[in-house]
Amino acid sequence: MALERTFVMLKPDCVERRLAGKVLARFEEKGLRLVAMKLIQMTQKQAAEQYREHEGKGFYAGLVKFMTSAPCFVMVLEGASAVSVVRKLVGATNGRNAEPGTIRGDFGLSAGLNLVHASDGVERAKVEAGIFFRPEELVTPQNAIGHWIENSEDAS
């Protein structure tokens, strides 16, 4: 299994509800490693770049206003199949439809206030990470047990 990096954002509703620690713990408990993380106040420019594909849609202005209204955490996570693992942990977009045990299923009640953004692919993750991080801000995690976590299928 190849290591991947993915971009994740804990949105203003997640931060305002003081759920950031619980959400981050879910990713870490799964075995994903933090490569970069910071608390930001998203600028209009960053929001426009992040949500460019939605420009012109009826919800765009409200989305940008919400995302720039309060701080959010942006991060890059690394692990085996990180993109699909994170998206599965996050759950369906609308918290009312998300499975129990997922982040949105456990903490969300709507589609608009859905707590977390997770990239939908490795290439998109690179683009999104580039909006918020300079390349030198991404670290290569080193730890004594990393090999065992990434190669857990080999242990049996």
% of the chain surpassing 70 pLDDT: 90
E strand map for 103-152: 116-118
The pLDDT score that the predictor gives to residue 29 is: 97
Which tens digits make up the pLDDT trace of 76-85?
Answer: 999 999 999 9
In angstroms, the Cα distances linking 128 to 117, 132, 142 are 11, 7, 24
The pLDDT score that the predictor gives to residue 148 is: 66
Q: Are 72 and 15 in contact (CB under 8 A)?
A: yes
The pLDDT score that the predictor gives to residue 156 is: 53
Choosing from 11, 87, 104, 117, the catalytic residue is 117
Question: pTM of the entire structure?
Answer: 0.88
**What is the spatial distance between Cα 77 and Cα 155, in angstroms, rounded to a whole number?**
23
Q: Are 68 and 50 in contact (CB under 8 A)?
A: no
Q: Are 106 and 118 in contact (CB under 8 A)?
A: no
The pLDDT score that the predictor gives to residue 121 is: 97
Whose CA is closest to 120, among 77, 86, 96? Answer: 86
Phi, psi of 47 (to 5 degrees): -65, -40
The pLDDT score that the predictor gives to residue 2 is: 79
Q: For residue 117, indicate whether it is catalytic.
A: yes
Residue ranges, the chain, pLDDT below 70: 1, 143-156
Residue written as token pair 């012109």: 56
Q: Kindly list the structural domains of the chain, giving each domain's residue range(s) and its CATH number in brackets, ordered by start.
A: 3-40+72-155 (3.30.70.141)
